[in-house]
Structure 1
Amino acid sequence: IRNGVYPTGEHPEGISPLEAVNLYRDYLSLHERKEILRYEKVSF
C-alpha cells in the first residue's frame, strides 16, 4: 500500500467501497461544520 491508495479488492480494515464513501462524506460534513462554526465566531 503506497500513499493511501489501495489495490482493487483490498480495503483497509475490511471497509467496503460504500462504507468508505460514507466515512468520507461524514468527514466532509464534519469539516464543513467546523468551517461554519469558524464563520459564526467571526460574524458575532
Structure 2
Amino acid sequence: MKLRIIPPFPLFLLLFQEKTTANMYLAKKLLTNAKRPLEWEVRR
C-alpha cells in the first residue's frame, strides 16, 4: 500500500484518528487511576 499525497485530507484524517486513539488510551488510564486519585496527584 503506497502513501500518495494527492489530497492532504486523508493524512489529516489519519493524524486525527491517531490522536483520538491516544486520547482514548489516556482516558482509560485516567479512569483506572481514578480509583486512587491521591496516588495519581502525587505521580503527576
Q: TM-score range by the shorter chain?
A: 0.5 to 0.7
* Length, aligned pairs only: 33
Q: Which runs of 5 or more residues in structure 2 are unaligned?
A: 36-44
TM-score, length of structure 1 as denominator length: 0.64
* Structure holding more helix per residue: 2
Deviations 1:2-29 (A, max 9, x none): xxxxxxxxxx611431000000000000
Any runs of at least 4 consecutive aligned residues in structure 1 with deviations exceeding 2 A, and if so which?
none
Larger Rg: 2
* Percentage of pairs with the same residue: 9
TM-score (norm 2): 0.64
Q: Which runs of 5+ in 1 are unaligned?
A: 1-11
Letter in 2 for 1:13: L
